[in-house]
Structure 1
Amino acid sequence: MSYFEVDSERVISAAGMANKSVEILSTETDALMSQLNSLADSWKGGAAQNFQTVANEWEGVQRRVHESLGKIRDALQTAGTQYSDVENSNMRMFSA
């Protein structure tokens, strides 16, 4: 027989914090990429091209981080909601 204990409200709260992190990272990343992309107007040559390659790689990494954090947020939200729903359903099942 298995045993587990879950505070579904804490799980849902963690999902909310993850969502805030997604929003903050997205805003900060967009702002930084805007600044970096604006360098193209005033920076030409081999070093500028190499920098753009590195900036594009970094943008790809940030996109993957954003996607992963979004998946974590979604999983936490689903798990917290399901635990809460099942507990409430079981309480109703055994109520008089």
Structure 2
Amino acid sequence: MTNFAVDVSQVQQASSTVSATAERIRSEVATMMAHLTGLQSTWHGGASLQFQEVSAQWQSTQAQVDAALLSIHQALDRTAHTYAEAENLVRGNFAM
């Protein structure tokens, strides 16, 4: 028999924390990219082209990080709801 215990409120808190962290990262990245875009508009030449390629790679990687954080948030959120629902259903088995 499998034994487990879960504090649903901790799972919900973790979900909220991941979501808030993702939002902070998005905000910081947007600020950073605004500065970098400004730099790109004044920088010309071979090094500038290389910089633009690296910047594009970063944006692609950051999009993957954002998607992963969203997936983690959604999975934790579903997990918290599933555990809470299961607890309510089991409790209902003993209602008189």
TM-score range (shorter-chain normalised) is over 0.9
If the length of structure 2 is used for normalisation, what is the TM-score?
0.95
Residue 29 of structure 1, CA deviation: 0.7
- What is the number of equivalent residue pairs in this alignment? 96
Q: Give 1:63's aligned residue.
A: 63
Whole-Å separation in 2 of the counterparts to 1:30 and 1:51: 17
If the length of structure 1 is used for normalisation, what is the TM-score?
0.95
**For 1:21-49, what per-residue CA distance to the aligned partner results, in whole angstroms no more than 9, with x for missing partners?**
11101111111111111112210000000
2:27 aligned with 1:27, yes or no? yes
Whole-Å separation in 2 of the counterparts to 1:10 and 1:41: 46
Residue 77 of structure 1, CA deviation: 0.4
Whole-Å separation in 2 of the counterparts to 1:38 and 1:49: 14
Letter in 2 for 1:94: F
Pairs within 5 Å for 1:71-86: 71-86=71-86
Dislocated runs of 4+, deviation >6 Å: none
Letter in 2 for 1:9: S
Q: Which runs of 5+ in 1 are unaligned?
A: none
CA RMSD of aligned residues (A): 0.8
Q: Give 1:5's aligned residue.
A: 5
Residue 94 of structure 1, CA deviation: 1.1
Whole-Å separation in 2 of the counterparts to 1:35 and 1:93: 59
Sequence identity, in percent?
30
